[in-house]
Structure 1
């Protein structure tokens, strides 16, 4: 409705920038709700440029492209004054100093819209980056914003700054939440359930060995080297909690079910879901975990399993989504980065988080691929947590740190600031 109306005022096309996975979604939505608009997808190695692109735009109402292409073709795209520029999943420009964010800020549009369910994922500076695109200069320079707001709000030292910032941004926000009565009436109920799973003896031994080794090494490291080592160890611990073969970088043949209680649990749960003739989404942070789950489930459940990740082409992603929504396939694994936002996957009424993210806003966005308007079944959310490990500790921290954007923790960077004693307390394996 909005795009149709503004094109009655100006003849120039509007630009939509989105992740690759969502190009097909935008094409279908525009065809359904605004069939009169002429749409051109600017994507792929054979996309037009120069005069040919200008000619296409003369007879086009909406151009759809991706963040990566917008960076590559910024010189071409900034030559237009677009009717409107809409950023879908706008958190892709959350880091103001990246080439991608700087390129997109160069684009000119009569209207600018940033669409995101997570305006603040990790740091308050991400909000500045979004507003610098929407309304350049409104929140001041990046340094003045840091001095005026960031320190006082993120450290909780000046609560009055939160009130001041909220007053500044409120006129520019259109926010819908699941608590909105009109939306709530359109959605079925949702139940979240945490599945606590023990480590195997092999995993527990490797876990303790890895933590002790890191603590000894960080005693001798400082600055970025220490932070890098901690973050690297956290990733190793997460992979180890999924399956020891992933941490040890062993072949697929050694990724046997019995070596990981998480693997046993996912098979048990998916078998139960399929017995009820229901469908599920399974989210993981890691491509290697997704590939392992795909192989394991296809073998144990004896049916094909989809896996959407960032290395796939647009056509492959679109085909997977279409097959799942048409209920031709019932088990859909998605990497959290590639499939955790934007997609409509209402054919699923179970969502499984195989490994946990640091930020509940990101997890909630992924869950909302199924729990969204168009869903007519009760949605059951399962969150896997390995007992006594970093996963259980992080779950506790997530529940405590809900102070920014209602649901925010400082990504995983806050862990790198801990002392060795605090790290030991956070990471130590507890075998109650």
Structure 2
């Protein structure tokens, strides 16, 4: 019997020797040292090959080891080599703290990070080390969604972080003079369009917000009663996150809720349709990115019905690889009627080249701003000869404004930590469009305006969270 074949035996039929190597079974267990068991021949784990080490190791998409608990991260960190190289276009996505496991793999997890108070080294490996790194270099704790009313970079002690990174990081960007000679891609134009909800959308949002508030107040009562009895009661963070996700869906795709029966197009869909009309009339192609699979399906069906001589498709995690590449090959053909692809964010943020797109729509917000950057970079990459317009669709007076603030805060922290660049408030504010964003006077305070726009979300007070 060849190694790798599947074999199943009952105790009565179990052969005396291993069918693969003909050695006796190990005492007390029906498996053999060659890896064969009575169920199947198992492949050796990756760690089996790590003990000898390598002369050198290089990994692509190095930022993917940022989660120290993932199997991918653990496997990579077991690789032993005197020379290590990690390649990544986005070394960090959510803030400076994303760099911890990547730096640790390259640097080594010794006690090299100095405690800012005692000036002595502290533990810099494992979960404790990650927490230390976040506090010292990552700007402290996490960004609180419902407290986001300004852009706050999630980075601290950046000069010391830069000193550390300068010893291991070689950073090249498309804007660099040396790179532009080889990769000359026009800068995209960003439009952060703030949309006012229709009355039906607003009514649904307020209804869900009230349900969230009622649930939270009930949780507070339970906590108070428990404390009177001398017990502990913890309001589950995951439940709060679930409620915030409900608000997020109302702001983006209200048709997902049975109680939404409006015959009027939702604000985002109406805006998307009007803008898409302009591109279709010029025989130009567009990409749309959404966080929700159901929204991707609905938008593709809706847009297909509006343009009989064009075609719109959606690509999500359930679409086979072969089918995805067929769609993208057709999209890249300027004579093919396939003119609109609706991606889910997780599926679309891959190394695809879709330079036939001249417009990109970020239909709803995702907490990972760098992931959204990877999405519109499908069109803004080598081979693109035109300026691409990127539209960020943000529903006013909803949690989407909060998420947008989180995105800007995270992106700012990453830009400072990795690229040593401060966020340009004036540039960001000039990208704001829509209600309350037009007619700026010459002496306009862009930072104050950006801060004001970031307050048009859902606050703790709206829910009654202390």
Q: TM-score, normalised by structure 2?
A: 0.64
| Distance verdict in 2 for CA 1:315–1:342, change over 3 Å | same
Q: Provide the aligned C-alpha RMSD in A.
A: 3.5
Task: Report the Cα offset of residue 181 of structure 1.
Answer: 2.2
Q: Does 1:165 align with 2:171?
A: no
Structure 2 distance, partners of 1:265, 1:298, is 16
What are the superposed Cα offsets for residues 49-87 of structure 1, whole Å, 9 maximum, x if unpaired? xx9xxxxxxxxxxxxxxxxxxxx9772585376676544
Name stretches of at least 5 consecutive residues in structure 2 with no aligned partner: 1-19, 21-41, 113-123, 142-153, 224-232, 418-457
Aligned position for 1:388: 397
Structure 2 distance, partners of 1:333, 1:134, is 38
Conserved in 1, the CA contact under 8 Å of 2:192 and 2:392? Answer: yes
Conserved in 1, the CA contact under 8 Å of 2:286 and 2:357? Answer: yes
| Distance verdict in 2 for CA 1:84–1:107, change over 3 Å | same
Aligned position for 1:187: 185
Structure 2 distance, partners of 1:240, 1:75, is 45
Higher deviation after alignment, 206-215 or 315-324: 315-324
Aligned position for 1:423: 460
Name the SS for the 1:171 alignment partner: coil
* Aligned counterpart for 1:311 among listed residues 306, 318, 328: 318
Structure 1 distance, partners of 2:131, 2:72, is 25
Aligned position for 1:67: none
* Aligned counterpart for 1:207 among listed residues 205, 208, 218: 205
Structure 2 distance, partners of 1:249, 1:183, is 53
Conserved in 1, the CA contact under 8 Å of 2:95 and 2:414? Answer: no
Name the SS for the 2:93 alignment partner: coil
Name stretches of at least 5 consecutive residues in structure 1 with no aligned partner: 1-50, 52-71, 409-420
Q: Does 1:377 align with 2:377?
A: no
Report the structure number with the largest CA radius of gyration: 2
Conserved in 1, the CA contact under 8 Å of 2:358 and 2:386? Answer: yes
Structure 2 distance, partners of 1:239, 1:423, is 19
Map 1:1-400 to 2 at 5 A. 75-76=45-46, 79=49, 85-107=57-79, 112-137=84-109, 140-143=124-127, 145-146=129-130, 148-155=132-139, 161-184=157-180, 186-219=184-217, 220=219, 225-248=235-258, 258-302=264-308, 303-327=310-334, 328=336, 329-399=338-408
- Higher RCO (C-alpha 8 Å, min separation 6): 2
Higher deviation after alignment, 90-99 or 279-288: 90-99
Task: Report the Cα offset of residue 283 of structure 1.
Answer: 0.6
Structure 1 distance, partners of 2:126, 2:138, is 16
Structure 1 distance, partners of 2:58, 2:347, is 19
Task: Report the Cα offset of residue 207 of structure 1.
Answer: 0.6
For this pair of structures, how many residues does the alignment match?
Answer: 342
Aligned position for 1:59: none
What are the superposed Cα offsets for residues 301-357 of structure 1, whole Å, 9 maximum, x if unpaired? 223213222222322222222222233322111111111132222121211100012
| Distance verdict in 2 for CA 1:427–1:73, change over 3 Å | farther
| Distance verdict in 2 for CA 1:197–1:372, change over 3 Å | same
Structure 2 distance, partners of 1:171, 1:73, is 39
* Aligned counterpart for 2:414 among listed residues 405, 410, 425: 405
| Distance verdict in 2 for CA 1:339–1:87, change over 3 Å | farther
Task: Report the Cα offset of residue 189 of structure 1.
Answer: 3.3
Task: Report the Cα offset of residue 264 of structure 1.
Answer: 1.6
Higher deviation after alignment, 86-95 or 354-363: 86-95
Name the SS for the 1:332 alignment partner: strand
| Distance verdict in 2 for CA 1:364–1:159, change over 3 Å | closer
Conserved in 1, the CA contact under 8 Å of 2:46 and 2:75? Answer: no
Structure 2 distance, partners of 1:283, 1:270, is 14
